Structure formats: C-alpha cells, structure tokens
Amino acid sequence: MSELAKNPLKIQSMFSAIAPRYDLLNKLLSLGRDRYWRGFAVNQLPIIKEGLFLDAATGTGDVALEIIKQRPDARVIGVDFSDKMIELGKEKILKTGNQDKIELRFGDITSLPFEDKTFDAAIIAFGIRNIPDYKKGIGEMARVVKDGGKIAILEFTSVQSQFFKLPFRLYLIKVLPIIGGIFSGRKGAYKYLSDSVLDFPNPEEFKKIMEEMGLKKVKYYPLTFSIVTVHVGIK
C-alpha cells in the first residue's frame, strides 16, 4: 500500500482535488452499477418513521439522497472530511429540493461530532477502506447508533469470484488509473484507489472485524460478480 493510504491529510487533499469529476467517474468506472449498489445497501437499513440516519463519508451526497428516495419521511446527516465534496453535495441536494431533509457537514469518521446513540442507523459507502484503522471507524459508527440499530457498509471486494478475479484485477491495476487520470487529471489518485481495493480485507475477514467491534448478526451480500460487498450488522 502506498504512503498516501497512511496519511489522512493527503487522502483528504486527494478527494478534494478529484471532487469535480467524482460523480462522473463513479458512473463511468462502475459501468453505471453504482446506483444499484447504493440502492441495495440503503435497502438494508431499517424502515423507521421519521428516522434519523447517518451517512458517513457522504462524498457528494448520493447515498443520503438514496435514503430519502427510499424513506421519504427520514432525515439524514452526512459527514465527510473533504470540504469540496461537501460543497458539491450541498449544491446537488439544493437542486433536488431535499435541503430540509439532508444536512451535510464536515466530520471525521474516526471522531464523529455526535452524542452516543443519536442515530437509528448508519451507512458508509466506499469510504471505510480509506481509513487507516477500520475498527476505529466502525466503532465510531456503532457509538452514535442506538442499541438495536443497523450499520451498513458498502465497499469494493478484494477477492472476486474465480470467473471475474483476473479481469477485475487487470482493470484495477491497468485500466482504472488511466481512465481516472484522463478525466480527473490525477492518475495518482486512481492508482491509490485501485491499491486500496486490492489491500482491503476479504468479506469473511471484514465480517470478523465487525464482530470484534461488537456488532451482531453480521451478514454480507456480494453483488455484481462480487465486485462489491454490502456488510450489515446490528449494534
């Protein structure tokens, strides 16, 4: 893993730099499957009338918007450590008319600015692997979720099905940095992103990490040839 992955300030700077093209590249590099993945992950959250949900590492707010789409009477607070991502997310949310239901604010998932047991559930999509200490991030999400609440984690999978493993690794190592670099101007950023996927624990290992942090009934759902996995646990 590169030094970038061990330096939160450099990761923060990297995401701010690629923010303007982030949504476009997500759609392009996932071949449009990112919307389905987010929808599936959000669907694992509980249906609670006027529930309050945490969207950790919210980026430009796509998961927060998906929560409101599926749970129209809910409220969402999204946190991210990139000011630029938050700025773009607020513009997007304003355009959709959901500014009364979604609040985006600056925040670090390893030190969330909320009291214990604030939220009915929490979700993080494609953000947990950017944290040097996975347990610290999971622990903070668990701390701010009420007893019995769910935590959902959507992330790329380091080990795919045998059918798809080789082409996916070639895509990550060779193709993604080139395409990402062309569209964002930051080839190094997408080299880091591909490295971080390959370095991430496999689903069984990550399930054990969630269980070690006290989450119960942990399940995981591989999607799209196991390119991504949705992990769900109960506090």
**pLDDT > 70? residue 202:** yes
**pLDDT > 70? residue 205:** yes
The per-residue pLDDT for 53 is 98
Give the pLDDT mean for 213-225: 95
**pLDDT > 50? residue 88:** yes
The per-residue pLDDT for 93 is 97
Which of 156-165, 185-194, 213-222 is predicted least confidently?
185-194
CATH architecture for segment(s) 3-15+30-157+201-234: 3-Layer(aba) Sandwich (3.40)
- Confidence category of residue 184, pLDDT binned at 50, 70, 90: low
| DSSP helix/strand/coil, 171 | helix
| DSSP helix/strand/coil, 45 | coil
CA gap 69, 47 in Å, rounded: 12
Render 103-151 in DSSP notation, one character per residue: EEEE-BTTB-SS-TT-EEEEEEES-GGGSS-HHHHHHHHHHHEEEEEEE
pLDDT digits (tens, 9 = 90+) for 90-146: 999 999 999 999 999 999 999 999 999 999 999 999 989 888 899 999 999 999 999
Q: What Rg do the C-alpha atoms of the chain give, in angstroms?
A: 17
Give the pLDDT mean for 211-223: 97
Domains of the chain, by residue range, sit at 3-15+30-157+201-234
| DSSP helix/strand/coil, 208 | helix
Beta bridge partners of residue 106, listed in sequence order:
80
CA gap 60, 2 in Å, rounded: 25
Render 59-116 in DSSP notation, one character per residue: TTSHHHHHHHHH-TT-EEEEEES-HHHHHHHHHHHHHHT-TTTEEEEE-BTTB-SS-T
- Confidence category of residue 9, pLDDT binned at 50, 70, 90: low
Residues 6+ apart with CB under 8 A from 180: 18, 25, 29, 186, 187, 189, 190, 193
The per-residue pLDDT for 1 is 45
- The whole-model pTM stands at 0.87
Closest CA to 155 of 111, 122, 202: 202
Place of tokens 């239901």: 101
| Average pLDDT of the residues of the chain | 86
Q: Which of 9-23, 152-166, 167-181 has the highest mean pLDDT?
A: 152-166
